Amino acid sequence: MITVATYNIHKAHSIARGCRLTELKDALMEIDVDIVFLQEVQDINIKRHDDSLGYEISSQTSELQGERYPYAAYGANAFYEHGHHGNAILSKYPIKTWQNIDVSDHRLEQRGVLHAIVEHPKYGEIHLICTHFGLFKGGRVRQAKALVHHVNRTITDNMPLVIAGDFNDWNLHVHHILTGELELEDAIETMQHKNRETNRTKKTPLGRTYPSFIPWFKLDRLYVRGFKIVEAHVKTGRSWHVRSDHVPIQASLTIKPQD
């Protein structure tokens, strides 16, 4: 079994509440999965200080790692005078290699695809891709096509793969591209189908992740290939409303046997 989660942390900051890094560290402890896909990680911001921690924050990625996640990859996408932000992958398993691919559609929206390979003690190599797509339909479609091209070029069909992140895909254009061209399974949708087949409608996860105080849009997705989805759900409850403007998706997976 391998457990994963995807979470847009909104740069660990809000105007009303200030720095929420301590709350997000608590959130990761509560989730306690093997691998976390994070978006909007503001790894460096020299203007901000977390009074609750009592010192200047040198790196959000390293702070969120703590002792729980000894391995991490961070891909900076947006750069500015006081720092940068992007996507990160935190892992309990060794990260063998990683690369960050620029898929920005225009200079006002800097986006990237963070691709890492971890070594699982039982399953071997697992490919992980963390991404955050743009706000405009045309850009998202082009970013999806770039992701498809990258996967087809670098990952063979028999390798286990997890693609997770914030796709801003409320109209499902990206969803149809990724599930159609890469034959990915959406973790939440798979659980919905299972629950419908067993008439467990009351427990069917809706997959809505934004806004966190009353989730309505399915902006965040967790896709897999080569895995069996054992369980998947969206985290809910008041404590999650105040940690970010998104709520996370969590899933449990096992490797599918090879044909």
Across residues 80-84, what is the average pLDDT? 62
Largest CA distance in the chain: 55
Label residue 161 by pLDDT band (50, 70, 90).
Answer: very high
Question: What does the DSSP assignment read for 119-168?
Answer: EETTTEEEEEEEEE--SSHHHHHHHHHHHHHHHHHH--TTS-EEEEEE--
Q: Which domain holds residue 150?
A: 2-255
Chain centre to alpha carbon of residue 23: 18
This prediction's pTM = 0.90
The more confident residue out of 79 and 10 is 10
Across residues 48-72, what is the average pLDDT? 73
* Alpha carbon distance 19, 243 (integer Å): 10
Q: What CATH number is given to the structural domain containing 32?
A: 3.60.10.10
- Give the per-residue pLDDT at 22: 85
Spell out the alpha helix ranges (H) of 18-136: 21-31, 60-65
**155: pLDDT strictly greater than 70:** yes
* Alpha carbon distance 229, 194 (integer Å): 10
- Give the per-residue pLDDT at 151: 97
- Specify the number of domains making up the chain: 1
Label residue 28 by pLDDT band (50, 70, 90).
Answer: very high
Closest CA to 36 of 83, 78, 73: 73
Q: What is the CA radius of gyration of the chain?
A: 17
**79: pLDDT strictly greater than 60:** no
Q: What are the tens digits of pLDDT across the range 88-115?
A: 999 999 999 999 999 887 766 788 899 9
145, 27 Cβ separation under 8 angstroms: no
Question: What does the DSSP assignment read for 210-254?
Answer: BSTTS--B--EEEEEESEEEEEEEE--SHHHHTT-SS--EEEEEE
Label residue 120 by pLDDT band (50, 70, 90).
Answer: very high
- Give the per-residue pLDDT at 257: 80
